[in-house]
Structure 1
Amino acid sequence: MSEAPWLTIIGLGEDGPDGLTGASRAALEVAEIVIGPPRHLALLGPLQAETIAWPVPFAEGIPLLMAHRGRQVVALASGDPFWFGAGSVLVRDLAPGEWRAFPGVSTFALAAARLGWPLEATPCLGLHAAPLDRLRPVVAPGVRALVLLRDGAAVAALAEWLARQGFGDSRLHVLEALGGPRERVRTATAQGFALADIAHPVCAGVDVVGQGRVLALATGRTDDWFDHDGQITKRPVRALTLSALAPCRGEHLWDIGAGSGSVAIEWLLAGPDLTATAIEADPARAARLMGNAARFGVDHRLRLVEDRAPEALAGLAPPEAVFIGGGLSAGLLDTLWAAMPPGARLVANAVTLESEALLAQWQADKGGDLLRIELAEAAPLGRRRGWRSAYPIMQWSVLR
C-alpha cells in the first residue's frame, strides 16, 4: 500500500465545486474513483474518475468502499463529515495514515449564520434517522436548538411533537438547501404547522416557546416521569443513589434488578457519552423500562439484558459503576466482586433485615460506607397532618 492516504473524504456543500478548497480540487483531479450520494455526484458534474453511487441503506456502501482499498478514492459527504456526518463511520476500521479529510462548512454553521444564533450556546442534534424524543432533555422555554432532519415530513413531525409536549407556540425556522442556489428560509409556528414542498437537505431552527413540562437538570426527577408498577427507586433515594454512583464522562453502568429503569435512565441523562446495561428478568418490567428510556431519548445508549443476575453478567462489558436495586444475595455479591475491575464503584440498597445484615457483613469485610436513609412525608392524620414514614433503606457504597 502507498504511504500516501488512499482515501480522501471531501465535505461538499450545496454550492458544489464552487465551495471546494484547492486541496479538495487536487484530490478530485487525481482520483481514480469518486463515491458518494447521487445528489453530491450531480453537484460536481462530469468527472474524469469512475463514479459510484453510494447505496441505500448506508451500511451497504462500506464493503463497496473497502473493495477499492489501495486505489485513489474520494468519498463525498455533506458539509463537515465529522459533525453528525459519515466521516467517523468511513474511517472506523482504517489506520490514521490511510485517509485524510477536507471538511466543508457544516449545515449548523450555515444555519447559525442565517439566524444569528451563537453556536457555542445552541444545542445541535442530528436526527436524520433518530427519534424526535432525543430532544426531550433539551426542550425548555427560551432554548434554541438546531436539528438536522431527513425531509419535509420529518419537519412536520417535529412540529407535531413540539405541540404534543406543550410547546406548540414554538417557532420553527425551516432552512432548506443552505449554501446553494436552492436555499430557502421560512418560519412557522409548531401548532398548525402547514409549510409544504420542503426541499432536502433541511435543517430546523427550533425557538422553544410554551408551558410544556421541562426535564430538570438535577438527579432525582419526580417519580411521575417514569411508568412503573411500584418497583421504582423513589426520588429522594434515587438522588442519593446517583450521588454515590458518581457518573463520570464516558463511563458504563450495570443496573441490576432495574425495575422501571429510573436509576439507569438518570445515569444516562447525566452525560451524552454515558452508557448502561439494565438487567431485568420480568418481561413486563423490561418492556416498561425500555419505553421509559425511549421517552427520555436515551434508549440508544441503554442495553437491556432480560435475565436474572448473576447469570446475566456473563460476557458483559466491564462497568465503572454497578447498582443493585433488586435481587441482592450473597451469591450475586460474590460474582460481582470477582467481575468488577479495580476502581469500579458498587452501590447496593437494602430494605429487609436479611439484606441489611448481608450488606453490614460485606461492609465489615470490604470497607466502604454504610448509609441509613429514613424518610417521612406529611400525610393526613384525622383533621390534622402527621409524618408517614417509609421503610428505612440501608445503602452500601464501596470502591472495588
Structure 2
Amino acid sequence: MSEAPRDPWLTIVGIGEDGIAGLSEAARSALAEAQVVTGAARHLGLLPALSAETRTWPVPFGSGVAELMALKGRKVVMLASGDPFWFGAGSVVTGGLDPAEWIAHPAPSTFALAAARLGWPVETTLCLGLHAAPLAHLRPHLAPGQRALVLLRDGAAVQALAHYVTGEGFGASTLTVLEALGGPRERVRIASAFSFDLEDVAHPVAVGLSCGGEGEVVTCASGRDDRWFDSDGQITKRPVRALALSALAPRPGELLWDIGTGSGSIAIEWLLAHRDMRAVAFEGDPVRAARARANAAALGADRLHVVDGMVPAALENRPAPDAVFVGGGLDAALLERLGHLSAGTRIVAHAVTLETEALLAKAHVEIGGTLLRVELAQAAPLGSRRGWKAHYPIVQWSVTL
C-alpha cells in the first residue's frame, strides 16, 4: 500500500544567524509559498522582505500555540532556532497534530555549531537547554573534567552560571562564551568561572563549560551521602536507601509514589537514576513537604511533584505508579489501598516499630514477596576506645503485585 501524499498546512523552518543564506531549497520554497510566516522578532529580522503576512510570536511562548492552530487551512511557516526538535519548539507545536499536517526543515543546532567551534564530540558532551530552567539542573553533572554545552537566555544568565558553578566549588571551570553562532555577529570568548567579567554578552548565547575545581561531586550510585538532603531526622539513611532503591529497581520512564517522603531522598534518587524518571512524593507535614521540594530543586530534580496531604486519601485520582515506596505512615488502610494497584506494580515498604512490622509480616503471608530484616551498626567512641553503636533494625517488605 502506497503512502498518501503529504500536503501539510504547517512548515517548521529552523533558521540560523546566517538567515536565508543558510536555508535549504525546500525551506526557501516553503517561505515563497507561505501565506503567513510567524516567528520571534529576531527570526523575522533575519529574512528579507516577504510577500506573506508576518506575525510576531507572542511572549510567553505557550500563548502563541492557540493562535498558530487558528491558522489551520492556510499555508503557514513557523520559524524556530536551528533544530526545532532539539531543545526547541517543534514538539510543543506538533504534539496534537497529525503527521500529515506538518513538515520540518531543520538547520544546524546551536549544539552542533558550538561543538564544531570547540572540537568537542557531541555524543560524549552533556547538552542542556536552560533558557527557562534552573541552573541547578547542572548540579548532578558537575565533576572535574566534565564538559557541557549549555544554552542560556542572555548575558545575565551567563554571569549567573559563572557565579553558580563557583558557589558549588567549581570556580576553576572554564567558560567558552559563544554568541550568535553562524552569523555575522558571531563572537567566541573564554573566561574562568571564578573571575568572570564579561558584561556585554549578546543573545543568542551558548556556553561551553569545561568543569574544574574541588567542589563536591554528586555520585552516580544509589545511596548518596545523607548530607545532600536537608532533614529534621526523618530520612531514609544512606545504606537503607541504597537497599530500598535496589528493591524498587527503577527503569527509564517509570513513575514512583514515595509515601511519607520526609526529606524526599528516595524520590530524588529515583529521579536522578534517569532523565525520564517521574515521581510523586506524598507528605502530610507541610514543613517536611517544603523541605523535600527544596532538596529536589538543589539537586536539579525539581520535576519532583510533592503532594501535601494524608494517605490513603491523597492517593486518589493519581496516575497509576510503576513502583511504590512507603517510608512512613504505614497502616492497614494504606496496605489495603496499595493491594488494589495494577498487576506488575512493585511495592517496597519499611517498618521500624513492632506494630508496622506486624503489618508487613501479615502482608508477606497473604500477598507474598520478600521480607528482609536490616540491622546496621556504626563504629563510635566508647570511653577511650571504640565500639559498635546499633541503629534501630529495619524490616523491608518488597513485592511485585
1:332 aligns with 2:328: no
1:203 aligns with 2:203: no
What's the offset of the Cα at 1:93? 1.2
1:278 aligns with 2:278: no
3-state secondary structure, aligned to 2:314 = helix
Tell me the equivalent position of 2:317: 315
Tell me the equivalent position of 1:92: 95
1:83 aligns with 2:81: no
1:220 aligns with 2:219: no
Mapped partners of 2:316, 2:11: distance in 1:
41
Tell me the equivalent position of 2:391: 390
TM-score (norm 1): 0.98
CA separation of 1:193 and 1:30: change in aligned 2, threshold 3 A: same
* Alignment root-mean-square deviation, CA: 0.8
1:11 aligns with 2:3: no
Mapped partners of 1:200, 1:368: distance in 2:
56
Cα deviation digits, residues 94-153 of structure 1 (max 9, x gap): 111111111110000000000001101100000001110000011100001000000000
1:251 aligns with 2:254: yes
Cα deviation digits, residues 175-231 of structure 1 (max 9, x gap): 000000000000000112101211110000001110001000001001011100000
What's the offset of the Cα at 1:92? 1.3
Aligned equivalent of 1:234, options 234, 237, 241 = 237
Q: Output the amino acid matched with 1:225.
A: W
Mapped partners of 1:128, 1:392: distance in 2:
47
Q: Output the amino acid matched with 1:316.
A: R
Q: Output the amino acid matched with 2:56.
A: A
3-state secondary structure, aligned to 2:387 = strand
1:164 aligns with 2:164: no
Cα deviation digits, residues 260-291 of structure 1 (max 9, x gap): 00000000000000010000010110000000
1:190 aligns with 2:193: yes
TM-score (norm 2): 0.98
Mapped partners of 1:263, 1:3: distance in 2:
48
Mapped partners of 1:13, 1:264: distance in 2:
40
Mapped partners of 2:374, 2:72: distance in 1:
61
Q: How many residues align?
A: 397
Mapped partners of 2:339, 2:255: distance in 1:
16
Mapped partners of 1:3, 1:15: distance in 2:
29
- 1:339-354 matches, within 5 Å, as 340-354=341-355
Q: Output the amino acid matched with 2:251.
A: C
Mapped partners of 2:355, 2:121: distance in 1:
56
Mapped partners of 1:175, 1:44: distance in 2:
22
Tell me the equivalent position of 2:307: 305
3-state secondary structure, aligned to 1:186 = strand
Mapped partners of 1:90, 1:102: distance in 2:
14
Cα deviation digits, residues 11-68 of structure 1 (max 9, x gap): 0000000000111111111111000001111101211111000011111111110110
- 1:42-121 matches, within 5 Å, as 42-121=45-124
Q: Which 4+ residue blocks in structure 1 deviate beyond 3 angstroms? A: none
Q: Output the amino acid matched with 1:17.
A: I
What's the offset of the Cα at 1:3? 5.5
3-state secondary structure, aligned to 2:290 = helix
Tell me the equivalent position of 1:356: 357
3-state secondary structure, aligned to 1:137 = helix
What's the offset of the Cα at 1:351? 0.6
Mapped partners of 2:48, 2:283: distance in 1:
55
Mapped partners of 1:117, 1:45: distance in 2:
34
Mapped partners of 1:3, 1:253: distance in 2:
41
Q: Output the amino acid matched with 1:333.
A: L
- 1:371-382 matches, within 5 Å, as 371-382=372-383
Mapped partners of 1:341, 1:48: distance in 2:
57
Q: Output the amino acid matched with 2:9.
A: W
Cα deviation digits, residues 218-257 of structure 1 (max 9, x gap): 0100101110000000000000000000000100000000
Percent identity of the aligned residues? 63
Mapped partners of 2:100, 2:347: distance in 1:
41
Q: Output the amino acid matched with 2:33.
A: V
Q: Output the amino acid matched with 1:315.
A: N
3-state secondary structure, aligned to 1:385 = strand
What's the offset of the Cα at 1:169? 1.1
Mapped partners of 2:107, 2:209: distance in 1:
24
Mapped partners of 1:380, 1:35: distance in 2:
70
Cα deviation digits, residues 336-357 of structure 1 (max 9, x gap): 111x221110000001111111
Aligned equivalent of 1:124, options 124, 127, 144 = 127
3-state secondary structure, aligned to 1:255 = strand
Q: Output the amino acid matched with 1:376.
A: A
Mapped partners of 2:79, 2:236: distance in 1:
49
The unaligned stretches of length 5 or more in structure 1 are none
